[in-house]
Amino acid sequence: MNVGFIGLGLIGGSIAKAIRRVHPDVRILAYNRSASVLNDALVDGTIDEACWEISGAFSSCDYIFLCTPVVTMIRQMKALKPFLKFGAVLTDVGSTKGTVHRAARELGLGESFIGGHPMAGSEKTGYENSSDRLLENSWYILTPGENVAIERLSAFSEFIASLGALPLILSPDEHDFVTAAISHVPHVVSASLVNMVKELDGPEEYMRTIAAGGFKDITRISSSSPQMWQEICMANSENICIVLDRFIRKLTDFRFAIRNENPDRLIRYFSECKDYRDSFSEQATGPIKRTFRLYMDIIDEAGSIAEVAAVLARGNISIRNIGIVHNRTYEKGVLRIEFYDEQACADAVVLLRENHYRVYDD
Contacts of 144 (CB under 8 A, 6+ apart): 113, 114, 115, 153, 169
Residue ranges of the chain with pLDDT lower than 50? 284-285, 287-288, 327-332
**Measured CA distances, 96 to 177, 194, 241, 256, 325 (Å):** 9, 24, 14, 34, 36
DSSP labels for 10-64?
HHHHHHHHHHHHH-TTSEEEEE-S-HHHHHHHHHTTS-SEEESSSSGGGGG-SEE
In this predicted model, what pLDDT tens digit does every residue of 170-222 receive, in sequence order? 999 999 999 999 999 999 999 999 999 999 999 998 898 887 667 877 888 88
pTM of the model: 0.77
State the pLDDT at residue 212: 65
Strand ranges across the sheet with 49-51: 49-51, 27-31, 2-6, 63-66, 89-92, 113-118, 139-144, 166-169
User: Which helix (H) or strand (E) covers residue 207, if one does?
Assistant: helix 206-210
Please say whether the beta carbons of 125 and 225 come within 8 A.
yes
Q: Please tell me the distance from the alpha carbon of residue 196 to that of residue 212, in angstroms, as a whole number.
A: 16
State the pLDDT at residue 123: 65
Please say whether the beta carbons of 92 and 167 come within 8 A.
no
State the pLDDT at residue 136: 85
Q: Domains, the chain, ranges and CATH?
A: 2-170 (3.40.50.720), 176-280 (1.10.3660.10), 292-361 (3.30.2130.10)
